[in-house]
Amino acid sequence: MNNLFNLDGKIAVVTGGSGGLGSAMAGGLARAGARVVIISSREQTGAAAAAGITAAGGTAMSLAADVTDPAAMWHAAEQCEKAWGPVDILINGAGGNAPGATTTATQSFFQLDAPSLNKVFNLNLMGAIYASQAFGRTMAERKQGNIINIGSMAAARAITRVSAYSAAKAALDNLTRWLAVYMAQEYGPGIRVNAIAPGFFLTEQNRFLLTDKETGAFTARAKTIVAHTPMARLGEAEDLIGTLLWLASPASAFVTGIVVPVDGGFSAWSGV
């Protein structure tokens, strides 16, 4: 049973690995035996996340790179291979929203600005594509590997305010299915592509929507979310680890092309 979830000797890359959810996932992979490469656009936070894993007894390093820059992703893949060898697992965790791409009481859909919309699409969709190209190439050559995209419940349900983010994550779900089929047909069943769709987790990217800046109390939006979640709470970063390890390990050897909700039942309930 332990061997099913064992990642000893595996090399795992986590983009967005210095964020709240990303760092938790990176730590979970390390505890399962993987050597973890944290990719972050912010050098200091990436180094701090890697240092935290090392201090806990794991093995990690960090690379500063922007997932929206394809050249940076190819360079990061080269650095990883030179340091530790070919990558076995890629977690496309980089993502987030932007105020300029979010409707509010004072900002309508028609006022969302193009730079913010492009930023959200590039970060959530194109970043996953570029990373999958760079790190997936050697997976294709070796005919083995594992890509896990981090989607969102906003892809499957109409969530108010976050139109660009929702559309980008919906595209990421489609990319997950497409790439799963492509890799299996073109390079064999040893390469799997799946996604995790977190429900509502409090992160730095959505804090401005879910908590009051002055008091830290839940906003009306956050209260509505909790009321529509059968488990009656927001998710915590550690809630993702079990699903992540299942998808990253031999325990899910015959699983590809799926999107797994980790949402406390949010997507299952009609509200009635």
Phi-psi category of residue 214: left, alpha or beta, with phi > 0 → left and psi -120 to 50 → alpha: alpha
Residue at 44: amino acid letter:
Q
Cα gap 200→236, rounded to integer Å: 9
Give, as one character, the DSSP assignment of residue 1. Answer: -
* C-alpha distances in Å from residue 25, one per residue of 2, 34, 90, 110, 225: 19, 11, 12, 36, 24
Whether residue 191 contacts residue 88, with contact meaning beta carbons closer than 8 Å, is answered with no
Half-sphere exposure of 158 (CA within 13 A, CB side): 1
Catalytic residue among 130, 165, 182, 187: 165
CA atoms within 13 A on the CB side of 196: 27
Contacts of 251 by beta carbon, 8 Å cutoff, 6+ apart: 4, 5, 245
List the structure tokens of 59. 């093995």
187 is a catalytic site residue: no
Query: Which strand ranges, in their side-by-side order, compose the sheet holding 59-64?
Result: 59-64, 35-40, 11-15, 89-92, 145-150, 191-198, 259-262
Q: How far, in Å, CA of 248 to CA of 9, rounded?
A: 13
Token match 């919906």: residue?
A: 170
d(CA 201, CA 78): 33
Residues annotated as catalytic are 165
